[in-house]
Chain A
Amino acid sequence: MSEPQKIDIQGHVVTVKHPATQEELGQMVHAAAQAGQAIYSVGGATRQYLGLPPVNPGIGLCTRKLDRVIDYPARDMTVTVELGMTVAKLREVLAGENQDLPIDCPDPSRATLGGLLATNGSGSRRHGYGTLRDYLLGLTVIDDHGRPTKSGGRVVKNVAGYDMGKLHIGALGTLGPLVQATFKLKPRPEATALSLVPLAPDQLEAFANQMNQGQTRPIVIDLLSAGAAREFARLAGQTLPREGWHGLVGFDGAEMAVRWQLQTLRDELRSLAAGEVLELVSHAGAWEALTALGGPRGTTGLRAGVLPGESVGLARSLETWAPASGVVAHLGAGIINAWGDPDTSREPLLGQVERLRHQAQPKRLQDQAQPKGGWLVVTRSGPTARDARMVFGSARQDHPLMAEIKRQLDPGCLFNPGRYLTDL
């Protein structure tokens, strides 16, 4: 694969270098630091739309050539790899031992593990499997002098030193390029199943409540708006028996247990389902479709977090927010992804977003001076210019501490300047 020499990061074209080793990457960071150039980390460039545009002139450092397996002691169920490796390649390596890193990632053949970490990617299976912070055991990053610094280790349990890895997950590369990591792994399940349950609009809360107390133990509890359900069915090559909201429940594990759960769910939801339940058993294409729903669609994308019990309310607001919308709410975690083509001629995107942001505050906290709850981030904004207020909203109480950590670890503001929260 020929490597691009230039990359467009939110309208800013940056020259990209492709170091072949971690040492070479370190030297490039050192040289850039000496020259006062900013460094923009690039993996598979699948999610460079997140965050904000670059502010300082600089170079792109692409990690894609760093894609070696460093150590894979399969019986210890850990793997140490370089982070330019694509998610698909890691999956392939792990499949040989019937293991997996169960983190959903759209476009896995392009997305790198470094990018997945930097953007804290997660999807529907987070309900059953958690997120990257539950799998990252050790991490090596390049510091502002170009030196590798590691934290954690290669064993599944380890509390030596500060858990610096946590700091880098979702930090959009603002604390240095990520080059190597050790992950904890899971065995691949014997069987899987997805159950797509049509729901009448007045049954959404009832569905959410039932899923919180039913007999089954799903790994996915999603709520899909009509647009999202349609898109899911299209990607999975299925025909939807009925339009409208759908619950999407996923199971995996031993075949017998999966079968029992499907039956139990059918029984438990009998009075709730508004039509025929579509069951997709051990259907790889359906899981890929579900993962792909997390990819970019529509002109504008939003991602929100609320208390799980309040996710149905916000999901409803997001469905009517824009034409051609789609909403996928992960009900267990209270994380909601939405897309659409909003009309910004009547009301600017910022106004629309602020309104939704207010709704993302937990009801009983809305009147508090310091909002402690929900958040809403603009992942993509179409033609609308992006700034920190629009993309992330107002700063939180712990923001000054984050800014101080950034100052400590990157005093010269080398790494991805301007791309995350103000001062990070």
Chain B
Amino acid sequence: MTATLLDEKTAILITHLTKIVGPDGLISSPAELMVYECDGYTMEKNRPEVVVFPRCTEEIVGVVKACNELGVPFLPRGSGTSLAGGCLPVGGGVIISLARMRKILEVDIRNRYALVEPGVINTWLTNRVKNDGWHYAPDPSSQGACTIGGNVATNSGGPHTLKYGVTVNHILGVELVLPDGRVIQIGGPVEEAPGYDLTGLVVGSEGTFGVVSKVWVRLVRNPQSVRTLLGIFESVDDATRTISEIIGAGIVPAALEMLDNLILGAVEEAFGFGFPLDAGAVLIMEVDGLETGIDDEAARIESIALKNKARKVSRANTEAERMLLWKSRKQAFGAVGRLAPSYCTQDGVVPRTRLPEMLRIMHDISKRHDIRIANIFHAGDGNMHPILLFDERDPAQVQRVMEASHEILDTCLKLGGSVTGEHGIGVEKIDFMPKLFSPDDLMAMTRVRQAFNPTGLCSPGKMLPTAGACSEPAAARQLKPGRRAPH
């Protein structure tokens, strides 16, 4: 296709879309579109032709129908905080940004649910209900920026999912604009209506089943009491053994988070919490529940940590101290810029008892590839977020980062784990899918995608290696250096 023809097609597209969302409801100039070339995974980029900002379900329907008429691929996007390229417009086309659909439509404490638009920022909902003593449990570290619609797409986790479960455990239903423009309600505030659990299937489908336009979420009562402990360890090994032992003792903490020495330095510089800079690792250990008995549980955790050679275990004495500790944890990624110009975060999972082994192997991978790796992660779930530090201006480093990343993920698989605990497959990890699943497994998933998205126009090139009929054009493929995993 020549450039002129392409431009003509884009011009028709823009005319169509402007009629639906108005001139202030879309952007199409290259400078404005740059923001939408990628999400938090910046190794691969591709520019959409247009980004639209619908304000209601009907406008989403209009956009989706226009894309169908013109045969243009489209995909939904929240805040773009995802980390696996889930909202990378692989085939170009239209990004449907849900940023203007950010109303909390209903809060029903008596019936334990809220109805929100997909662009509502995760933390807004908890802020809205906290004075009533309730909260929305999934708390990804990016919760101050990420949207609930995005959380639904990736089945997001967060530190407190160890006890409270991930996003899917808190979603009661969705309104979905199907890839052909039909609108359906799946599930809803009443639980377990007869029929297949399509809600459970849509959560985590990474935008490949349509555009979620409303979400019914479960609200959870706040615990009566919380105790937050900080364990300081000489080595990562001691810290991971502590984690294993806490879980093995039948204690279900509300959160168990680990930060290693490298990330501690950056976090300390950014937030000044008072972390000891010579520690090998620290563990944030939190228990919650009834006031009665909670100190006993905290004491058990403390004694397990001390038995595993913790240098010191201290408690957050005030709510302000606790909030600062969590801020240091949740905003740690923001502090990584102090360590290197670029970083790439991985999302591997291993059975929690294999964590010590995995961290030793990771240390070795870091040395062999000469790439520094900082570790900060949901230790209680076995879900690691190694942060590979590099300078993207140096192609040799980029290459080594890709190789080290793949080696880390391969090791996770070898130890019986997964390549993604909460970030998703996106485009980044598509090549791992055949390592995780047999061709028959993938075929079953493809068949289900066919039911929702038969033309493949909705979010092509995601999740499954044999993704939809509208496969990636050559131009898009060229924009993905090093995407293929070394075999």
Give A238 to B452 CA distance when docked, in angstroms: 53
A169 touches B197 (CB 8 A): yes
The complex places the Cα of A78 from the Cα of B416 at a distance, in Å, of 12
The residues in A between 69 and 100 inclusive whose CB is less than 8 angstroms from any CB of B are 73-78, 98-99
Q: Are the C-beta atoms of A167 and B441 separated by less than 8 Å?
A: no
Enumerate chain B residues within 8 angstroms of A399, measured Cβ to Cβ. Answer: 195
Query: Whole-angstrom distance between the alpha carbons of A260 and B294 in the complex?
Result: 12
| 5 cross-chain CB contacts under 8 A | A145-B440, A308-B112, A372-B188, A377-B194, A407-B451
Give the residue name and chain of the A residue nearest to B383 (CB): A157
Closest CB of chain A to B169's CB: distance in Å? 5
Stretch of B24-32, B62-70, B285-293, B390-398 on the interface side: B285-293
Q: Which residues of A contact B169 (CB under 8 A)?
A: 130, 133-134
Q: Is the CB of B382 within 8 A of A398?
A: no
Q: Residues of B at under 8 Å CB distance from A?
A: 108, 110-112, 154-155, 157, 161, 165-166, 168-169, 178, 184-186, 188-201, 203-205, 221, 223-224, 244, 247-248, 250-252, 289-290, 292-293, 296-297, 349-353, 378, 381-383, 416-425, 429, 432-433, 436-438, 440-445, 447-452, 463-464
A149 interface hit (Cβ, 8 Å): yes
Please indicate the chain B residues that have their CB under 8 angstroms from the CB of A335 in the complex.
191-192
Residues of B within 8 A of A402 (CB): 195-196, 198
Inter-chain CA distance A153–B383, complex, in Å, is 13
A186 is an interface residue with CB less than 8 A from chain B: yes
Contact (Cβ within 8 A) A375 B433: no
**Residues from chain B with Cβ under 8 Å of A253 in the complex:** 289-290, 293
* Interface 0/1 of A291-321, CB less than 8 Å to B: 0000000000000011111000000000000
Give the shortest distance, in Å, between A377 (CB) and chain B (any CB).
Answer: 6
Shortest C-beta distance, B329 to chain A (Å), equals 17
A128-155 CB mask vs B (1 if < 8 Å, else 0) is 0011011000000001010111110111
Q: Which residues of B contact A392 (CB under 8 A)?
A: 194
- Cβ contacts A196-215/B at 8 Å (1 or 0 each): 00000000000001001001
Tell me how far the C-beta of A258 lies from the nearest C-beta in chain B, rounded to whole angstroms: 9
In the complex the two chains form, is B425's CB within 8 Å of A158's CB? no
Cβ-defined contact, B420 with A76, below 8 A:
no
Evaluate contact between A148 and B440: CB separation under 8 angstroms.
yes
Given contacts A256-B293, A335-B191, contact A151 B197 (CB under 8 A): no
Interface size class of A (residues with CB under 8 A): 35 or more
Tell me the complex Cα distance, A334–B205, Å.
28
**Contact between B349 and A396 (Cβ–Cβ < 8 Å)?**
no
A187 located at the interface, meaning its Cβ lies under 8 Å from any Cβ of chain B in the complex: yes
Interface string of A380-408 (1 = CB under 8 A from B): 00000000000011001111011011011
| B420 and A158 contacting across the interface, CB-CB below 8 Å | yes
- Other-chain contact of A143, B353, B444, B464 (Cβ < 8 Å): B444
Partner of B452 from A393, A401, A407 at Cβ < 8 Å: A401
A187-B250, A260-B292, A401-B451 known; A159-B154 Cβ under 8 A: yes
**Further contacts, 11 of them, CB under 8 A, given A159-B423, A209-B110, A398-B198:** A76-B382, A155-B416, A158-B420, A166-B168, A166-B199, A167-B198, A186-B252, A217-B221, A260-B292, A309-B110, A377-B194
Q: Which residues of A contact B251 (CB under 8 A)?
A: 187
Instruction: Return the CB mask of A167-190 against B: 1 if under 8 Å, else 0.
Output: 101110001000000000011100
Task: Let me know if A171 and B161 touch, CB within 8 A.
Answer: no
- Measured in the bound complex, the distance between the Cα atoms of B289 and A153 in whole Å is 30
Contact B110 A151 (CB under 8 A): no
Contact B443 A149 (CB under 8 A): yes
Are A421 and B443 within 8 A (Cβ)? Answer: no
Please tell me if A46 contacts chain B, counting CB pairs below 8 Å: no
Q: Does A161 contact B (CB under 8 A)?
A: yes
Within 8 Å CB of B352, what residues of A? Answer: 75-76, 156
Q: Which residues does chain A contribute within 8 Å of B178, judged by CB atoms?
A: 401
Chain A positions within 8 Å of B, measured between CB atoms, are 73-78, 98-99, 120, 130-131, 133-134, 143, 145, 147-151, 153-167, 169-171, 175, 186-188, 209, 212, 215-217, 253-254, 256-257, 260-261, 305-309, 332-335, 362, 370, 372-375, 377, 392-393, 396-399, 401-402, 404-405, 407-409, 421, 424
Q: Are B421 and A157 in contact (CB under 8 A)?
A: yes
Closest to B249 in A: A187
CB-based nearest B residue for A254 = B293
Q: Which residues of A contact B197 (CB under 8 A)?
A: 133, 166-167, 169-170
Residues of A within 8 A of B292 (CB): 256-257, 260
Number of A-B contacts (CB under 8 A): 251
Q: A150 and B437: CB pair below 8 A?
A: yes
B200 in contact with A133 (CB, 8 Å): yes
Say which residue of B166, B196, B204, B205 sits within 8 Å of A405 (CB atoms): B196
Q: Given A98-B250, A153-B417, A163-B200, does the pair A158, B444 have CB atoms closer than 8 Å?
A: no
Instruction: Give the distance in Å from the alpha carbon of A186 to the alpha carbon of B250 in the complex.
Output: 8
Min Cβ gap B61→A in Å is: 15
Residue among B185, B192, B353 making CB contact with A120, cutoff 8 Å: B192
Using CB atoms, name the residue of chain B closest to A309: B110
Cβ of B248: which chain A residues have Cβ within 8 Å of it? 74-75
Q: How far is the CB of A126 from chain B (nearest CB, A)?
A: 9
Q: Which residue of B lies closest to A145 (CB)?
A: B440
A305: contacting residue among B184, B193, B221, B423, CB under 8 A: B193
Instruction: Quote the shortest CB–CB distance from B100 to chain A (angstroms).
Output: 25
Q: Which residues of A contact B429 (CB under 8 A)?
A: 160
The distance in angstroms between the C-alpha atoms of A377 and B191, with both chains bound, is: 13
- Assuming the A-B contacts A164-B444, A408-B447, are A155 and B418 also in contact, with contact meaning beta carbons closer than 8 angstroms in the complex? yes
Closest to A71 in B: B416
**Cβ-defined partner of B293 (8 Å) among A149, A257, A424:** A257
Query: Which of A77, A157, A160, A188 lies in contact with B436, CB distance below 8 A?
Result: A160
Are B436 and A260 in contact (CB-based, < 8 A)? Answer: no
The complex places the Cα of A149 from the Cα of B440 at a distance, in Å, of 6
7 closest cross-chain pairs (CB), A and B? A166-B200, A187-B250, A157-B421, A408-B447, A260-B292, A257-B293, A158-B418
Nearest-Cβ distance from residue A345 to partner chain B, whole angstroms: 28
A335→B450 CA distance, assembly (Å): 33
Residues of B within 8 A of A257 (CB): 289-290, 292-293
Instruction: Assess the B191–A333 pair: CB atoms within 8 A.
Output: yes
Look across to chain B and name the residue whose beta carbon is closest to the beta carbon of A372.
B188
**Cross-interface CB contact of B188 among A78, A147, A373, A409, cutoff 8 Å:** A373
**CB-nearest residue of chain B relative to A147?**
B440
Chain A residues near B425 (CB, 8 Å)?
159-161
Taking a contact as CB atoms closer than 8 A, the residue among A155, A398, A404 that contacts B186 in the complex is: A398
Chain A residue at smallest Cβ distance from B248: A75
B247 to A254, Cβ gap below 8 A? Answer: no
CA distance A399 to B196 in the complex (A): 9
Q: By the criterion CB–CB under 8 Å, are B193 and A396 in contact?
A: yes
Closest Cβ of chain B: how far from A98's Cβ, in Å?
6
Which residues of A are found within 8 Å of B436, using beta-carbon distances? 153, 160-161
Closest Cβ of chain B to A369, distance in Å, is 12
- Within the complex, the shortest CB–CB distance from B305 to chain A, in Å, comes to 17
Asked if A156 contacts B188 (CB within 8 A), the reply is no
Q: A75-B353, A160-B433, A257-B289 in contact; A155/B417 too (CB < 8 A)?
A: yes
CA distance A165 to B252 in the complex (A): 24
A76 to B429, CA, bound (A): 25
Which residues of B sit under 8 angstroms from A154, Cβ to Cβ?
A: 351, 416
Q: Given that A309-B111, A334-B191 are known contacts, is A167 also in contact with B200, CB under 8 Å in the complex?
A: yes
**Chain B min CB distance to A168 (Å):** 8
Residue contact B198 to A256, C-beta cutoff 8 Å: no
Q: Return A207 CB to nearest CB of chain B, in Å.
A: 14
Which residues of chain B are within 8 angstroms of A309 by Cβ–Cβ distance?
110-111
Distance (Å) between the CB of A138 and the closest chain B CB? 10
Q: Which of A150, A158, A377 contacts B349 (CB 8 A)?
A: A158
